[in-house]
Amino acid sequence: MNMPSPDTAAITPGAVACVEVAGHTLELFNQTHLLFEAMLTDIAAAKKRVWLETYIFSDDLASHAIADALQRRARDGLDVRLLYDALGSQHTDPAIFKTMSAAGVQVHAYHRIKEALRSIAAFIILNRRDHRKLLVVDDRCAYFGGMNIHDHGHLFRASPTDPSVDPAAAWRDLHIRLTGPQQVEVADSFERSWMHAKGEKMTRRPSAYRRAQLSQTDESIHFFDTGPGLKFSRAPRVFRRLLRGSNRSVVLAMAYFIPVGRVMREIARARRRNVHVHVLVPSMTDVPIAQYGAWYLYRKLLRMGIRLYERKNRVMHTKAMVVDRQWTVVGSANMDPRSLYINLEFMAVIRSPAFAQAVIRVTRNEMRRSRRVRFSDCEKRTLKQRFLSTLAYSCRWWL
């Protein structure tokens, strides 16, 4: 698939597109092992700070390479921090984090189980997760999107003869590398998340921020750290504001797609305005119960006239929405109850026809490798599958 023609002198190796937006350079990655190479290059060039936030910090070759890089920079005297989610990284060998800490990396786990057991708000602590994925390097660049520090398929620096390599197991996702003046806002978002995780006081965000108000300039970038409470914005407000203003088209690519409440109502209203809505979801997933919950909505979505596609053969972990070919939402937030109302997420709203077109090209490439879902597919569901879909949807707030 041919991507937009970037400035080949400026694009980072492994990026599939490079777009200039409002004085910033945005580079798109859709494969994790290529993203990790870019991250390692930037970490090695850091002069002052390296801040990493992730839901999953895994125990594979790529994760160890990043851990080693963080340790080297910490030994060099840089401000190196790692914030990871305790539940998301529960299968990772604790020795990795202990080794980084001993080397001078400031390591903190968000909402440990032990922390929950010592609190009267145990359920809230266990249920609320840090689902964000950020990397801040100096005042120079920042990464954000949907990719964890985990190399599905084991493609990172792998030999083609390595028996552990499985290209078919590699996930499809979307992550952005940003350089430009608003990099400081990503750093500020990490700083606030770090303070929140450590129980330090945070100032309340301005009302305009919490209401996800957007500027109307021809090109713009807005960042939102979303979550419950008055110190965050709310992910539903971000999605609703753009869906409400849609006039021609909406393209949604979501790893977990169970829209609820006002978000679902805005999707329905967009269709009643004859807005073309295309939804891309995975046919393979790491959370089968979430897929069952999405299946429950298929009939309703198809009756609305929504075109629904299931990505075949690969797990699609992308979280993106493009509205009217000019507004794009990318980040860590899915369109499901957990991302909308429970977890801590990071979202970028980018107004740029060129950037929107780059993301649409990526999603179209995925759609070409997808199967269009029709009513007949819903009829083929077994009684067991229909029962599990109903059960999963009834538990949608806990998936």
Task: Name the 3-class secondary structure at 370.
Answer: strand
Report the DSSP beta bridge partners of residue 310: 281, 371
**Nearest Cα residue to 298 out of 231, 375, 189, 359:** 375
Q: What is the model's pTM?
A: 0.94
Residue 28 scores a pLDDT above 80:
yes
152's tokens: 């599905």
Q: What is the pLDDT of residues 68-89, one digit of tens each?
A: 999 999 999 999 999 999 999 9
Residue 10's pLDDT is what? Answer: 63
Does residue 60 or residue 121 have the better pLDDT? Answer: 60
Report the DSSP beta bridge partners of residue 176: 28, 144
Number of other residues whose CB lies within 10 A of the CB of residue 295: 22
- C-alpha to C-alpha distance for 143 and 213, rounded to whole angstroms: 23
Name residues whose C-beta falls within 8 Å of residue 143's C-beta, 6 or more positions apart in sequence.
35, 39, 133, 134, 135, 175, 176, 177, 178
Q: Is 290 exposed, middle or buried (0-12, 13-18, 19+ CB in 10 A)?
A: buried
User: Could you tell me the domains of the chain?
Assistant: 17-197 (3.30.870.10), 207-398 (3.30.870.10)
Report the DSSP beta bridge partners of residue 99: none
Task: Name the 3-class secondary structure at 128.
Answer: coil
Task: Name the 3-class secondary structure at 286.
Answer: coil
**Nearest Cα residue to 202 out of 224, 230, 172:** 230
End-to-end Cα separation, the chain, in angstroms:
35
pLDDT band per the 50, 70, 90 thresholds, residue 281:
very high
Phi (first) and psi of residue 286, to 5 degrees: -90, -5
Contact 73, 103 (CB under 8 A): no
Angle, CA of 286, 292 and 297, to the nearest 5°: 130
373's tokens: 């879902």
Q: What is the pLDDT of residues 204-238, one digit of tens each?
A: 888 888 889 999 899 999 999 999 887 888 899 99
Contact 238, 349 (CB under 8 A): yes
- C-alpha to C-alpha distance for 339 and 236, rounded to whole angstroms: 9
82's tokens: 């790692």
Residue 99 scores a pLDDT above 90:
yes
Length of the chain: 399
Report the Cα 42 to chain-centroid distance in Å. 20
Residue 383's pLDDT is what? Answer: 95
**Nearest Cα residue to 315 out of 286, 280, 336:** 286
Residue 363's pLDDT is what? Answer: 96
Contact 366, 281 (CB under 8 A): no
- The rounded radius of gyration (Å) of the Cα atoms in the chain is 20
**Nearest Cα residue to 314 out of 163, 154, 185, 153:** 153
Residue 119 scores a pLDDT above 80:
no
Q: What would the mean pLDDT of 312-329 be, rounded to a whole number?
A: 96
- C-alpha to C-alpha distance for 366 and 174, rounded to whole angstroms: 12
Task: Name the 3-class secondary structure at 33.
Answer: helix
Token pair 């020795």 is found at 95
Q: What is the pLDDT of residues 233-263, one digit of tens each?
A: 889 999 999 999 999 999 999 999 999 999 9
Q: What is the pLDDT of residues 156-195, one digit of tens each?
A: 998 777 888 888 889 999 999 999 999 999 999 999 999 9
